[in-house]
Amino acid sequence: MPVMQWKYYLGRGPEVEDILYKAKKAWDDVLTARQNLRSEYKANGFIPGDRKRYTITGFLYYEKPGFDFMKYTLSELPDQPKFYRAVPNLRHAEGKVLAEKLASPDVTFFPQNELINLLGVNCMADFSASANQTTSSMVWSSAQQVGNMVIVSMPADVSKQRILGKAPKIPKFLKLISKEKYDALAGGNLQAVEDM
């Protein structure tokens, strides 16, 4: 059975450091927007949503506030102070407004997407494992910071998979590397760079 084909890249140098700086600034802007939202609703904290996408779904309060456009759940843990979990009540107009604020890109951050967009390597592919397969799988680029470098995996354009849209132009500062080196770097082995 055919397997998905990938290409792996390593980026380092001043261009990558500039991109990492921009990604850090984007995260700092999200933190500022979250603090402003928390202050607006006088919350003590946030309820995390999807941990990979760094979303938030509601607020945490040590004392139950008087907002009628939120639903409250009391949480009591052993040896911990009690707190209220508050989520928007979508039956109220103000609850809908709050839900929109919590889902806003201003307070949501996905580090991989931020890096992919800044690097310009956004790529999706449609993969069919066999000719008899009636469905296909969607795969896409991923990127992550490793020290002051970045590593990228992208679907390759081969016979059993199709790049959707136009394949991105790979920046010159991204160098093709082997899967083994990519895996080593993804696992935190920076020695793999010195072996290149």
128 and 189 fall within a common domain:
yes
- For residue 150, is pLDDT > 90? yes
> What pLDDT does 128 receive?
62
What domain count does the chain have?
A: 2
87 and 121 fall within a common domain:
no
> What pLDDT does 45 receive?
92
d(CA 131, CA 1): 10
Does 141 map to a domain?
A: yes
Task: With cut-offs at 50, 70 and 90, classify the pLDDT of residue 62.
Answer: very high
71 and 118 fall within a common domain:
no
Rounded mean pLDDT of the chain? Answer: 85
Q: Are 149 and 23 in contact (CB under 8 A)?
A: no
> What pLDDT does 84 receive?
94
Whether the model pTM is above 0.85: no
162-173: average pLDDT: 80
114 and 174 fall within a common domain:
yes
> What pLDDT does 190 receive?
66
Domain boundaries, position 181 = 6-22+110-194
Q: Where among 103, 128, 149 does a domain terminate?
A: 103
Closest-CA residue to 158 (of 148, 171, 167): 167
Relative orientation angle of helices 14-40 and 111-119, to the nearest 10 degrees: 140
Q: Where among 53, 81, 103 does a domain terminate?
A: 103
> What pLDDT does 1 receive?
45
Closest-CA residue to 156 (of 131, 111, 126): 126
